[in-house]
Structure 1
């Protein structure tokens, strides 16, 4: 019997899609040691390997662009509209290209988070596919472009691609996805980090009562003027290396050489935007969050509501964040009551959904079949 073969497509729109897929691939490869994986993504190979422990072949290209961003919290709608119109102007050619790729590679299954092009290509090649995510581009497209004359035809192609998948695994938390006929709800996906708090403090030379604050915006740039911030006594900032700003109270977190989940679990607070990976990992690792809202991003409401119900969090304004007015919000955040951390059951549930195509019927347990055959999530559709 040949080794099972999975083709995975991971959006490079930030790091949240990788944060969703990586735990699934790690758990799946533990169940199927001979599994072959081809991973297509525009993310750097080093970033993929930092999250995915399983062996894979990296196909370094993107099959979606998500949304064109001004920065981590604001969308460039004009550029995004142009990009969608260009992508769908030769849609059939793009689908044919993916269909030929899959026909040549002959994977047993295609998994996408959350591009719809590979789903359409897999359907044309006669290869089963699954989608998985907390959002889908069709639902965001309706939110931003429903009033445009050119939008309806593009939206139909998006929905047809998503609905061609055997199932759409709707993570918790997630958007409604009312237009996706084959959605299945699964639990949260998050990596539980190792507590390296003491070792991290020694590495940084932090004093015993110094607070460590991680600033991370999920792979989409939002640089802050830390040099102009007021001094916060007893606070050490861990910031992205791309900011190229380090001093006695500010350290690039990548330079510490530790997995992101370990850092997140070991700090005193996280400052971020609403994004699936950081929100679920903060809640599941019991870390408090200060967040700044994204400008008109429809996914954020379900994420914010979930985090308020399952973790410690507090909203701050973009103006206060840019100005570094954080002492009061941080003090209020640390005074919140700790809640029981939610269980990240979604990765194992996703594995149960993937196994029937990769391990054969004999390897699929009762729980796996129940997930596959369970009733879909129920919502009211809102077509364009």
Structure 2
């Protein structure tokens, strides 16, 4: 029984959105696969999206980037977290290598923590990385030039270079300095449009348009209380965000898997992120997005979405007031392109199968 250890960072939900379809595709090819997951994401979320059965254990330390809000990086806190982790870098590597060796996987898959990759190399266990970004490039963008940052960056890059292969889903950052990169197609869970049945169940007007408001899994809240009530439109968002919004529809009341919920909506208001951009494009859902203050991955994500879907940037201030009527009507007036096919999960699963 082959044993895979999947390490999934808890920086937002996009890393899980990339990894889950690949693991589903791999389990289809290898039903006897033994799967262990290291992650600090909520267990209920992991159980909802990953293929059962699997064993869940807390993940290794993975700073990702600390966030001041869903749209802005806390650079000082991020730099401090990396300094703390890398102060005794080899101690951390050896500790995780011992934990990994005791578990005894045949292969490690990291999306996209660098410590599991370094630990796997130290333990002599084959390892792959899978992601549209790597934390070395993100760290360098925000922290290069700070005292000691050159050492941290070098250790980050060495960890990624130790992977037997770095799988890059479409779209992704260039990452040209990393060896053994293999590009695959877009990775997305395929959802189904279940709006009609949900409206029947909840007694709602199926003729209304649903606009999903979702900023990913990073910290931050949004109040829709001052958003205007637009004719024929319902704002779909977490109940805590609706804040007495008369045109609101609580996401929790719909009770659908997220991929089905997204596919059931007529538009999406969000920020640039791999999982939500690619799932929206593959479902044919138009997207309004607010800028993420220079997030390095954003240019590739935006360019791909503009080429394969209907999208438009909105000012961050629009998230406070919700004055989006003209933008939504303009998106809906555009002809819908043929949605891209999410071939990347099958392609990435084939690479994992080669290694296993």
Judged with a 3 Å threshold, the aligned counterparts in structure 2 of structure 1 residues 302 and 234 are, in CA distance, closer, same or farther, namely: same
Counterpart contact for 2:223–2:241, Cα < 8 Å: no
Aligned residue runs from structure 1 range 1-384, under 5 A: 3-243=1-241, 245=243, 248-358=246-356
- CA deviation digits over 1:133-188, x for unaligned, max 9? 00000011111122223111111100110010100001100001012112111111
Cα deviation, residue 54, structure 1: 2.9
SS in 1 for 2:93: helix
Query: Contact 1:311–1:341 (CA<8 Å) still a contact in 2?
Result: yes
Q: 1:168 to 1:341 in 2, by over 3 A?
A: same
- State the Cα distance separating 1:224 from its structure 2 match: 2.4
- CA RMSD in angstroms, aligned pairs only: 1.3
TM-score, normalised relative to structure 1: 0.90
Partner of 1:380: none
Q: Which moved more, 1:290-299 or 1:200-209?
A: 200-209
Aligned residues: 356
* Alignment check: 8 A CA contact 1:29 1:54 kept: no
Q: Which moved more, 1:244-253 or 1:319-328?
A: 244-253
Shift of 1:202: 2.1
What is the DSSP-based 3-state SS (H/G/I as helix, E as strand, rest coil) of the residue aligned with 1:22?
A: helix
CA–CA separation in structure 1 for the residues paired with 2:41 and 2:274: 17
1:25-79 Cα offsets, whole Å, 9 max, x none, are 1111111111111101111110001111231111123431210001110011111
Q: Deviations over 1:255-297 (max 9, x none)?
A: 3221111111111101100000000000001110110010120
**Alignment partner, residue 373 of structure 1:** none
Q: Retained in 2: the 8 A contact 1:4–1:34?
A: yes
- Return closer, same or farther for 1:253/1:329 CA change in 2, 3 Å cut-off: same
Residue ranges of structure 1 left out of the alignment (5+ in a row): 359-384
Distance, in Å, in 1 between the alignment partners of 2:287 and 2:222 is 17
C-alpha distance in 1 between matches for 2:244 and 2:199: 17
Measure, in 2, the Cα distance between the counterparts of 1:246 and 1:163: 51
- The 1-side partners of 2:239 and 2:128 are apart by 35
Cα deviations by residue, 1:204-247 (Å, 9 ceiling, x for unpaired): 43324311011111111342221122221211111124536465
- SS of residue matched to 2:295: coil
In structure 2, C-alpha distance between the alignment counterparts of 1:18 and 1:242, rounded to whole Å: 23
1:13 shift after superposition: 0.3
Aligned mates of 1:50, 1:239 — CA distance in 2 = 19
